[in-house]
């Protein structure tokens, strides 16, 4: 009774969580023939991850949905530390800012993972008809290495099985006490149900489909089926630390219940995170690694045990809750996949790294993984970019994953120590030991995504410090709010540099009121117009000149002292139907009606306001190269390493 068929897709994505959806966004945006499956019958609606770091919000800005996040999310701008005072009563001991307005337009936000997924799904729908195929599971994977180097080949063969509605939703039924939705079925304490699902599913007639794919991205979580098929070791260990997590509406007189805070007591350290819709998330230690008490029967943990623990920690305040949105239990484990990539198969998100959720980085790292691999696979699958760029994925993301796990490892004892009664010692500042605040301050730039330490590669040409001290190849372009020359409106660069699959040449044009500088810009524009320029050479037949590489000009003169038509035509490309491109010329000018637009972009980038600089941005807004405006050969060299050689050279023009 089993129906079988073979179909073909360029890219198959397994798993529609944050990392899978981010990867899928690129396929949708770049028009890649792709499919994305998820074994669950529905997306998540409650619980799971909730922390959004500034860099993630910048990415969400670049895909056009950050306004929806900010409207719904709870912003966490300050962090407070509580502990017992001399009288034993809990006291607020320190308060620190989290939000760093000088580094990003965005702060730290909290919002349920389900909403984030919704926004990415909407962004996908806005530019394609790609839909997540839910209730679909992969049950076999073959990879033919001999086909790996043949661009048109489909080396990957996956058998997909459509689950029955019951199978797709069985584990996500309500559980826990009082019908509260709990997350135990996704908890890392519960064994994964993938094999069970396959076994059960095989017993009944159902749709089985063989899919041949050029590329596969496995975003199927900590128990990753894809990773297992590839026999990639998942290195690390699971500790005995068991934590409870609960999303609830608190009934308490604890004054910082709507602030991010820790409460360190001899009963353990509670981490409290304010959320949307009056919710608060609490993390509570239920058993320490070296607990002398009898080992917990983990399956016996109930919501009430978590409630009691919270009451113990907050004992000098009233605390309880009646409304619980979600809860789960997890055992702290830290694992890192030894490889992120095998041939044309890539893994992302929890499939390659697991750690405790307390750093509030999990969803961020996963989305950034999916974002990183997504555009690379999309451009390679389209035949635009060379397959060699795919090797940069592991290079770039494994280092950040390792750093995340290291951070988590250093964070954990700061929560556990308190459990052993030395709370005052470990959280008091200046006692010589690493405190939570020390660690937060040390790691904040990494955790917030201001730095990511991407190493040199074909996509990252290091250098240019003398030209732009703070534009570091490999790092993201530091956001600034700048003004459009044609209409005067102020936009963050995170919105302007849309994630649309294009590389960008950002011409920091300096001050064109200086005659010499104008000459330099005109020379550069003349180069762009020539047949040798990368715009002309890599322009796909029949497409617009800016379809692969967009040139954005940000000059430094006041908007009011320049006019849009003053700029060379190549910088504001003319279109027969739509006229001049008004969205290409910008000024680092301040703006009387927008206090965020300060005209300090050049300063923050470390670029001379008269002479400017030339910058290449990758499709993910990371800096690929920095040079002088004359360095067109180097600029060209960058793209030569990335793009496939032009199929048809414009012989007539180039030889003219």
Which residue ranges make up the site for a second copy (CB under 8 A)? Answer: 64, 67-68, 70-71, 74-75, 77-78, 95, 97, 99-101, 107, 249-253, 255, 257-259, 274, 278, 321-323, 484, 486-489, 560, 563-565, 576-580, 582, 591-596
CB of 258 to a second copy, least distance (A): 4
DSSP-derived letter for residue 573 is -
Q: Could you say which of 84, 357, 568, 619 is catalytic? A: 357
Q: How many residues does the chain have?
A: 656
From CA 259, how far away is CA 414, in angstroms rounded? 19
Q: What are phi and psi of 514, to 5 degrees?
A: -85, 130
- Minimum distance, C-beta of residue 596 to a second copy, in the bound complex (Å): 6
CA atoms lying within 13 Å on the CB side of residue 167:
23
CA distance linking residue 646 with residue 635, whole number of Å: 17
Helix or strand holding residue 127 (H, E): helix 113-127
Give the closest residue to 131 by CA, choosing from 219, 288, 259, 13.
Answer: 13
| Structural tokens at position 104 | 């990003």
Taking the complex as a whole, the smallest distance from the CB of residue 581 to a second copy amounts, in Å, to 9
Alpha carbons 642 and 631: distance in angstroms, whole number: 18
CB of 486 to a second copy, least distance (A): 4
The residue among 159 and 489 lying less far from a second copy, judged by its C-beta, is 489
Per the annotation, the verdict on 283 as an active-site residue is yes
CB atoms within 10 A of CB 24: 31
Nearer to a second copy, 594 or 603 (CB): 594
Q: Measured between alpha carbons, how far is residue 204 from residues 77, 192, 507 in Å?
A: 53, 21, 61
Compare residues 149 and 177 and give the one whose CB is closer to a second copy.
177
Compare residues 217 and 248 and give the one whose CB is closer to a second copy: 248
User: Which of 275, 611 has the CB closer to a second copy?
Assistant: 275
Q: Are 612 and 506 in contact (CB under 8 A)?
A: no
Phi (first) and psi of residue 281, to 5 degrees: -100, 135
Q: How far is the CB of 37 from a second copy (least distance, A)?
A: 30
Active site residue 429: no
* Residue 250 known to be catalytic: no
Which residue of the set 53, 55, 134, 275 is catalytic? Answer: 275
Please say which residue, 204 or 277, places its beta carbon nearer to a second copy.
Answer: 277
493 touches 508 (CB < 8 A): no
In the set 25, 215, 283, 538, the catalytic residue is 283
Annotated catalytic residue 540: no
97 versus 421: smaller Cβ distance to a second copy? 97
Q: In the numeric block, which tokens belong to residue 176?
A: 């826990």
Least spacing, CB of residue 111 vs a second copy, in Å: 13
What minimum distance in Å lies between the beta carbon of 520 and a second copy? 23
What share of residues in the chain are helix, strand, coil (percent, to 5)?
A: 35, 30, 40
- The residue from 10, 38, 50, 589 that is catalytic is 50
Unique residue bearing structure tokens 């320490």: 288
List, in order, residues 6 or more apart from 537 with CB less than 8 Å away: 531, 646, 649, 650
- Name the token pair of 206: 């159902």
How far are the Cα atoms of 97, 125, 432, 516 from residue 410, in angstroms, in the given order? 21, 41, 15, 54
- Catalytic residue numbers? 50, 275, 283, 357
């Amino acid at each position: 009774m089993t129906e079988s068929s073979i179909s073909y897709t360029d890219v198959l994505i397994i798993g529609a969580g944050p990392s899978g959806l981010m990867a899928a966004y690129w396929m949708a945006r770049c028009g890649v023939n792709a499919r994305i499956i998820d074994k669950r019958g529905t997306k998540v609606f409650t619980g799971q991850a909730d922390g959004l770091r500034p860099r993630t919000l910048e990415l969400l800005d670049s895909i056009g949905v950050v306004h929806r996040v900010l409207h719904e999310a709870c912003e966490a701008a300050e962090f407070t530390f509580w502990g017992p005072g001399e009288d034993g009563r809990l006291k607020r001991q320190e308060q620190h800012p989290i939000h760093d307005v000088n580094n990003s337009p965005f702060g730290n936000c909290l919002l349920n993972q389900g909403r984030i997924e919704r926004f990415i799904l909407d962004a996908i729908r806005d530019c394609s008809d790609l839909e997540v195929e839910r209730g679909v599971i992969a049950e076999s994977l073959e990879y033919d290495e001999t086909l790996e180097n043949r661009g048109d080949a489909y080396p990957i063969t996956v058998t997909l099985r459509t689950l029955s509605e019951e199978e797709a939703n069985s584990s996500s039924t309500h559980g826990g006490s009082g019908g509260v939705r709990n997350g135990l079925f996704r908890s890392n304490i519960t064994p994964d149900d993938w094999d069970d699902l396959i076994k059960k599913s095989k017993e009944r007639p159902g749709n089985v489909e063989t899919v041949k794919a050029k590329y596969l991205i496995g975003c199927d979580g900590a128990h990753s089926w894809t990773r297992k098929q590839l026999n990639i070791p998942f290195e690390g260990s699971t500790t005995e630390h068991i934590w409870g997590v609960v999303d609830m509406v608190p009934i308490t007189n604890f004054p910082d219940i709507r602030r991010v805070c820790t409460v360190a007591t001899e009963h353990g350290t509670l981490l409290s995170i304010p959320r949307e819709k009056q919710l608060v998330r609490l993390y509570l230690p239920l058993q320490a690694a070296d607990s002398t008490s009898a080992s917990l029967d983990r399956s016996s943990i109930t919501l009430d045990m978590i409630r009691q623990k919270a009451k113990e920690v907050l004992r000098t305040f009233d605390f309880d809750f009646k409304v619980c949105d979600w809860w789960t239990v997890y055992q702290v484990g830290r694992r890192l996949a030894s490889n992120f990539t095998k041939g044309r198969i890539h893994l992302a998100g929890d499939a390659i790294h697991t750690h405790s959720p307390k750093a509030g980085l999990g969803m961020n790292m996963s989305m950034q993984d999916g974002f990183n691999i997504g555009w690379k696979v999309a451009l390679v699958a389209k035949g635009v970019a060379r397959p060699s760029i795919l090797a940069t994925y592991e290079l770039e993301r494994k280092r950040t994953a390792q750093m995340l796990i290291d951070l988590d490892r250093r964070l954990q004892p700061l929560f556990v120590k308190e459990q052993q009664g030395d709370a005052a010692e470990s959280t008091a500042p200046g006692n010589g030991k690493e405190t939570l605040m020390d660690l937060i301050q040390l790691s904040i730039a990494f955790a917030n995504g201001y730095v990511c330490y991407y190493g040199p590669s074909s996509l990252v040409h290091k250098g240019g410090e003398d030209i732009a001290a703070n534009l570091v190849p490999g790092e993201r372009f530091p956001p600034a709010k700048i003004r459009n020359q044609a209409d005067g409106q102020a936009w963050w660069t995170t919105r302007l540099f849309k994630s649309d699959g294009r590389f960008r040449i950002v011409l920091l044009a300096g001050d064109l009121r200086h005659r010499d500088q104008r000459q330099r810009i005109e020379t550069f524009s003349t180069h762009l117009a020539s047949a040798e320029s990368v715009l002309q050479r890599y322009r796909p037949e029949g497409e617009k000149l800016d379809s692969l590489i967009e040139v954005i000009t940000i000059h430094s003169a006041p908007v009011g002292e320049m006019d849009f038509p003053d700029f060379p035509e190549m910088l504001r490309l003319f279109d027969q139907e739509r006229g001049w491109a008004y969205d290409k010329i910008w000024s680092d000018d301040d703006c009387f009606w927008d206090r965020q637009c300060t005209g300090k972009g050049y300063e923050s980038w470390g670029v001379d306001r008269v002479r400017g600089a030339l910058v290449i941005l990758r499709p993910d807004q990371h800096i690929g190269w920095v040079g002088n405006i004359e360095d067109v050969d180097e600029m060209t060299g960058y793209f030569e390493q990335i793009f496939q050689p032009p199929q048809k050279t414009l012989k007539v023009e180039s030889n003219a």
